[in-house]
Each structure stands twice: as structure tokens, then as C-alpha cells.
Amino acid sequence: MQGLDDDPIAARVAAKLTERVGHLVDIGLGYLSLSRETSTLSGGESQRVKMIRHLGNSLTEMLYILDEPSVGLHARDVARLNALLQKLRDKGNTVLVVEHDPDVIAVADHVVDMGPRAGIHGGEVVFEGSYTALQQAQTLTGQFLAQHLPVKTEVRQPTGHLTIRNAQLHNLKNITVDIPTGVLTVVTGVAGSGKSTLINEVFLEQQPEAIVIDQSRVTANSRSAPATYTGIMDEIRKVFARTNGVSPSLFSFNSEGSCPHCNGLGVVYTDLAFMEGIATPCEICEGKRFKADVLEYHLRGQCISDVLDMTAEEALEFFTEKKIRPVVQAMNEVGLSYLKLGQPLSTLSGGEGQRLKLATELHKQGSIYVMDEPTTGLHLSDIGLLMGIIARLADAQNTVILIEHHLDVIRQADWIIDLGPEGGSAGGEVLFEGPPAALQGCELSITARFI
């Protein structure tokens, strides 16, 4: 057999191959196989796979820009990620990261904190400097960095339990797990340990009626917006119609009332053949999406276009209608106060889309809620808000199951199921089941070391 020692080209290829596979392991994706289809990767996994493509090159003085690379990473894997970011920097590159995770912020050489709050109350640089200086700074980020939610000691009592018996899908090692009902359960474990398999595949197959709030994109065509997605647009149209004594369909930018020039899109696309097309604001409606005479109809002094331009925060002050207020209220509660009612859904991030789903689902009468990393994209100060909503669901004796890495969320659980010990074939076992206070004594669990 011809071997590496006879074939210098093969030896070089083998060396390169070893290096690249090593990157895959270093970045915390050691549980993936090369034959895994990319369409099955999560957002966080996708981002790390993209990083692999760039790690091999020897370009220097590049500007790497990353969007929340810690998403979906267990505290242990964040340390590996940090090492990679530092490696990129040490090669002579500039690395720019948008991030909420305190552990990633801690390794930055320079931190820029934006704020002070969201939407129109934000947009300023409130802090620039080192991490140690940020810890002392009087900004929201600075204040919350020092503050950790305590480990919950008084947990809710379950009303019963749902049993997953002998699960062996993918890497699960024939495990049997009781999920307590009527309380908040958090499923943890390093990336690839089998959390999603256990909950999203095995458990949901048993409980198809569960309300699932995941990170799959909210349906986004160029005409969907928070107002249409949450269903309040119908009510808004009815109120406008009733107040003005005209047909509700006038107030839809998808039908009768839409600007005929841009068909309600607000912009006109000009195709420039082989050059990129240009979107220009519609010259007839000036981007307002409606016919001029529709804009003559007002509700408490605002026309329909003004209403769609309101943020959820402004809308909460404006609306008194019983069917609209709770939804707008929920949007504020999930940390989307800055979102405009008419903003195209295609511009929302994964985390924003997920919280919009949550706001929409909060009113539904469900008994089981499953949420896949609801803290994605949330600032430390917003996590408390989200946990408040989740606590309310559990207080109403709903069964709430979170797949989550965020330590503050894990500390606030009533019940923890920790999977591991590692990712892929080295995972799939239950390391710990019980309340958070007992997790600290569990030697097997990697999660316990970080609590």
C-alpha cells in the first residue's frame, strides 16, 4: 500500500485535514460528523461552522465581525470560543463582537456599551473602555455584570409528572426521565449532549399539543409585520373602520386601501439589469403604504400609517381597546418595546422573532410550554423581565420546559435535568435530575461546576 511516507502530497493533505478537523473539535463541534446535513444545524452551530471556514486562512489585518457567537454554548464551550476569538486577534486581525454573555465581554480588550435603553431611548455610546472599568460603570450593563440571580431554594411543588421512557433516539442512551408538571424545568448540558433530541424530538412526539416557542424564523414575506403576525392588525382595522364609518379593508396595506403605485410595499423596486436593483421610497405615498384618502381617517388624532409607525411602547400608551392592549403589553414585557408595529418581520433577528412568538403565545390557553433558548439576544437586564413572564406561566400551574445555557436561568429553575457528560456519542446520559440547590453537589455534571 502506498502511504503517507511515500507520497509527500498525501502527507500535506493529511496534515491539512487533521488541522481542519481539529478546528471543528476546538470550536466545540466535536460531536458533528462530516456527513451531517447542514440544513439540520442550529443557528449557533451554523455560525461556528462558518467560523471554521475562516480559521484556516492566513489573511491578516482583516476585520472579523461576529453576531453573538456564544448563542447555544454551554459555559464550558464559551471558554473554547474565547480562545478562538483571541487566536484570530493574535494573527493580527481586528475582531468586533456583538455579545451579551459576560464571559465573552470579559476577554475583550475594548468594550463599547450602547444605550442607555432601547429604541428611541438608545442609540448612544454610554461607555467605552476596558472590562474592569465597565464593571464600575453606572450603565445598565455595568450594573448587571456584578449581579447574579441567586440559586432558588424554595421551589414550586410539581402537580405530577410526564415520563419519557427508554429514549434512544440519536445519542440518547436508553434514558427514562420524569418531567414534573406545573413547574419550571430547565434542561441543560454541553452542546450536542442530547437536550434538543430529548425535548424537541422525543418529548414533543409524546405531547403534540405543547406550545413550542423555538427559534425557527417567523414567517417573513415582505408584507408581514408584528401587527399582522400577532393578529392585532385585524382589530386595529376594525377600530379605524368603526370610528370613521367605513370599510375595514381600507386600512390594510394588502388590499383596498393600499397605495396603487407601490402596491402597499412603501418602496418601488427598480431593476437595473446586471447592476443590483434599487429600492426607492414610493413617490406617491412617500413610503406610507396607503392611499392618500385613507390617511385622512383618524383614530384619536393618528392615521393608520402613524399607528403602524408606533413602537410597542408608544402603542401601549395609545391603545385603550381591550383586544389590542394585552398583545401590545406582552410585546413590551418580552423586551420588544422598541419594535415598530409595521416593521417588516424579515428585519427581525432570531431572538427577536422568538420573543414575538412568545408574546403571541402568552394568551393561548396551553398547559405545556417548550422554549428553546429564549434568552438568545437578550441583555442581562431583560433576562429578569423574561424570567418574570415565565414565572407567571409556572405560577398558573403550566408545565414550562426550557432548553437553556444561561446560568441565571438555570439557577431560577424549579427542576433541572442535566444531560452529558460530553457531546455526541459521549453524551446522551442523564447526569442529574433535581432542584438547583442539589445540583451543586453533583460531581458528574459539568454544569454544576459553573453554577
Q: How far is the CB of 208 from other proteins (least distance, A)?
A: 14
- Contact between 425 and other proteins per CB under 8 A: yes
Alpha-carbon distance values, 132 to 109, 115, 116, 121, 146 (Å):
10, 19, 19, 26, 11
- Of these, 58, 61, 157, 209, which contacts other proteins (CB under 8 A)? 61
Residue closer to other proteins by CB (options 93, 263) is 93
x/- site string to other proteins, residues 18 to 57, per CB under 8 A? x-xxx-xx---xxxxxxxxxxx-xxxx-xx-xxxxxx---
Residue closer to other proteins by CB (options 68, 418) is 68
Alpha-carbon distance values, 294 to 227, 235, 256, 260, 309 (Å):
18, 17, 10, 12, 16
- What interhelical angle do 75-90 and 43-55 show, nearest 10? 30
- Contact between 286 and other proteins per CB under 8 A: no
- Of these, 226, 264, 342, 351, which contacts other proteins (CB under 8 A)? 351
Residue closer to other proteins by CB (options 16, 242) is 16
Which positions from 63 through 122 interact with other proteins, judged by CB under 8 A?
A: 63-69, 71, 85-86, 88-89, 92-100, 104-105, 107-120, 122
Give the binding range for other proteins (CB under 8 A) out of 297-305, 325-333, 347-355, 362-370: 347-355
Q: How far is the CB of 4 from other proteins (least distance, A)?
A: 5
- Contact between 220 and other proteins per CB under 8 A: no
Q: How far is the CB of 345 from other proteins (least distance, A)?
A: 15
Q: How far is the CB of 282 from other proteins (least distance, A)?
A: 17
Which positions from 308 through 337 interact with other proteins, judged by CB under 8 A?
A: 335-337
Element (H, E) at 163: strand 160-167
x/- site string to other proteins, residues 136 to 155, per CB under 8 A? ----xx--------------
Q: How far is the CB of 333 from other proteins (least distance, A)?
A: 13
Q: How far is the CB of 411 from other proteins (least distance, A)?
A: 21
Residue closer to other proteins by CB (options 414, 429) is 429
Q: Nearest-CA neighbor of 54 among 85, 32, 9? A: 85
- Residues 23, 27, 32, 35: is their CA dihedral positive or negative? negative
3-state secondary structure at position 58 = coil
d(CA 428, CA 52): 26
Strand arrangement, sheet containing 368-372: 211-213, 368-372, 399-403, 184-188, 415-420, 429-434
What number of chain residues touch other proteins (CB under 8 A)?
111
Grid coordinates in use for 116?
A: 442607555
3-state secondary structure at position 420 = strand
Q: How far is the CB of 314 from other proteins (least distance, A)?
A: 14
Residue closer to other proteins by CB (options 30, 287) is 30
Q: How far is the CB of 99 from other proteins (least distance, A)?
A: 5
3-state secondary structure at position 272 = coil
3-state secondary structure at position 162 = strand
Alpha-carbon distance values, 107 to 23, 73, 95 (Å):
20, 16, 12
Residue closer to other proteins by CB (options 23, 291) is 23
- Of these, 180, 182, 350, 374, which contacts other proteins (CB under 8 A)? 350
Torsion from C-alpha of 322, 325, 327, 331, nearest 10 degrees: -170
Residue closer to other proteins by CB (options 331, 394) is 331
Asked if omega into 8 is within 30° of 0 (cis), the reply is no
Residues 6+ apart with CB under 8 A from 164: 175, 176, 177, 178, 179, 198, 202, 203, 206
3-state secondary structure at position 354 = helix
Which positions from 164 through 183 interact with other proteins, judged by CB under 8 A?
A: none
- Of these, 258, 381, 398, 445, which contacts other proteins (CB under 8 A)? 381
